[in-house]
Structure 1
């Protein structure tokens, strides 16, 4: 339902509960109090109705209708337009989610436009209604309370992010393979958180600069400065988180590189050991080859005399050489000569 709540306050106290915007406008003119209209994802017709009644600037109305705006404060005459980005931490998924609240402040009205279910501004309204003196300070009191609610809502986010970063540090040195993905995811959430919180400094500074000119109650100025202090602490924590995560990425990259270097070193050592073993096997094979050549050479040298001796050792009747007077010396000389020739040949080839 787009119209969440609307009422006219007089001297900080709630009057009737009008059933429609038209009734709210009539009561406002009749009682000359302050109207607070709460809208949730309003239709263009409803937003245009409010814009016509309170003479809201078209650019601000366009921003409020479309949403997806950065936190900012803009003034159009007597009307102030403030955009806030609430955030909350989801424990189940360990993620940060963001909403959007637009606040129009005029001399006699407050219009809040929400584009997310959170934050629920009903507790803010109840808190103000229980403090009539604060609510009697006018629309600026409503704006302060909404700002305070948004900034206080950042505290659980800071605590959740801090816990996630502690877990990442444990994962980092435990060599968890999913740690890089978690770091990038968390870094994205922190950057989004910075986008929601960092502009608050300029928003609150702008409100405080114009406080005297627009006669904002002194007590509200003190309260806004307190909200500013809280916002600064939140932004400082967000900056620190981003630095920690960037350092974690650097450390993770260094650890991965070191692991790769260690693996390459182990592979290199294994390769060197394998090469050394191959070299030893090659040397052994070469030595065996040399031995085989020597054995073959001596076998060949001994084969020639053996061949001659075996021929003359045959028991044939008709062997003319047996009757020669020089047969024996010739046979022995041939054996020696053939052995010497073969020895010289093998020696020249390096086999002996």
Structure 2
């Protein structure tokens, strides 16, 4: 927990023991930055500041969406910044703020263990560096909060810029026909879409809560102006993310159309090949029919000739004068009958 006294000369670090005394002087601007809300930090928030138990709990636990709660003497705000993870995952870096009469308390919410802890302190460290360097002189808690939130929206815009670079590369791969594995490429497309959708949601929800804050009468006129500007910054993030998401959707639809056309062409080629094989099979069957028909026709006289060629002693036809002509007539007649049958069936 860092206790900082902001004055015209810059920043003074003070011990925790002096916090209550510093808060009693309303002419001073006190900035309390809590990197992790442990038990001691939660105790200070509850006992020294007297914050509501639900607000303290929100600082200890992770919040999924931005929120704002207005109390009689302060405003509690929860915001998120995006941090890129592996395989398109988007980590939500939480920043909680208590904006009072003469103090600003910033609490960095719980983060995924795989995320670099420095990412959570990015905005507050940036603002602290500007104050120490003399480039920023906040006089009120809302001015200090405005500087931190502006840094957060810039990081959101930088995230959109990074995703835009990825979208352009994906588009070049689509138009150049160098997509590689289609399944993996589709995964890349939808991971990029997920990243843009995540930061778009952050901007939209954050803009909505700052839009609500503009209606709080307990905020001064200068504070209202800063709140309205912060709402406009979040709306700009949402609009830029929406534009890039629509652009990416066009790339996705173009690639899906390409896949559909290729699948149609492959299907047509497959159908043509099946038709060709079917025709070949039909022609082959017709030839088999003809061969089978002629084999049956020639089989009939062969059968008769085989029977009468046995020359057994007790065959009565051997002594019959008309046996040979009758056998020939039987061969011709059997062949003729089979020929007419196969002709009627269309085999010949």
> Scaled by the length of structure 2, what TM-score is found?
0.78
CA contact under 8 A between 1:293 and 1:351: conserved in structure 2? Answer: no
Report the equivalent of 2:144: 142
Report the equivalent of 1:186: 192
1:6 aligned to 2:21?
A: no
CA contact under 8 A between 1:14 and 1:129: conserved in structure 2? Answer: yes
Report the CA distance between 1:204 and its aligned residue: 2.4
Greater radius of gyration (CA) = 1
SS in 2 for 1:113: strand
Report the CA distance between 1:307 and its aligned residue: 9.8
1:33 aligned to 2:28?
A: yes
1:60 aligned to 2:55?
A: yes
User: How many pairs does the alignment contain?
Assistant: 323
Report the equivalent of 2:237: 234
State the Cα deviation string for residues 113-140 of structure 1 (Å, max 9, x = none): 013532421220232455598422x111
1:72 aligned to 2:61?
A: no
User: Which residue of 196, 199, 205 corresponds with 2:202?
Assistant: 196
1:44 aligned to 2:39?
A: yes
Distance in 1, matches of 2:81 and 2:306, equals: 105
Report the equivalent of 2:345: none
User: Which residue of 266, 278, 282 corresponds with 1:279?
Assistant: 282
State the Cα deviation string for residues 147-173 of structure 1 (Å, max 9, x = none): 111111112111111122223334445
Report the equivalent of 2:106: 112
1:348 aligned to 2:345?
A: no
**Which consecutive unaligned segments of at least 5 residues does structure 1 have?**
309-320, 322-326
Report the equivalent of 1:84: 79
Report the CA distance between 1:302 and its aligned residue: 8.0
SS in 2 for 1:288: helix
CA contact under 8 A between 2:298 and 2:335: conserved in structure 1? Answer: no
Over 3 Å counting, the alpha-carbon distance change for 1:64 and 1:347 in structure 2 is: same
CA contact under 8 A between 1:88 and 1:97: conserved in structure 2? Answer: yes
Over 3 Å counting, the alpha-carbon distance change for 1:304 and 1:154 in structure 2 is: closer
Report the CA distance between 1:209 and its aligned residue: 3.0
> Scaled by the length of structure 1, what TM-score is found?
0.77
User: Which residue of 325, 331, 344 corresponds with 1:336?
Assistant: 325
State the Cα deviation string for residues 272-299 of structure 1 (Å, max 9, x = none): 2222222222222222333334444566
Structure 1 vs Structure 2 CA RMSD: 3.5
CA contact under 8 A between 1:129 and 1:135: conserved in structure 2? Answer: no
Distance in 2, matches of 1:223 and 1:339, equals: 119
Over 3 Å counting, the alpha-carbon distance change for 1:334 and 1:129 in structure 2 is: closer
CA contact under 8 A between 2:207 and 2:232: conserved in structure 1? Answer: no
Distance in 2, matches of 1:69 and 1:336, equals: 106
Over 3 Å counting, the alpha-carbon distance change for 1:350 and 1:34 in structure 2 is: same
Report the equivalent of 1:98: 92
Over 3 Å counting, the alpha-carbon distance change for 1:216 and 1:140 in structure 2 is: farther
CA contact under 8 A between 2:296 and 2:338: conserved in structure 1? Answer: no
**For 1:155-170, what aligned pairs fall within 5 Å after superposition?**
155-170=157-172
Report the CA distance between 1:201 and its aligned residue: 1.5
SS in 1 for 2:339: coil
Over 3 Å counting, the alpha-carbon distance change for 1:130 and 1:348 in structure 2 is: closer
Distance in 2, matches of 1:32 and 1:130, equals: 23
Which shifted more, 259-268 or 37-46?
259-268
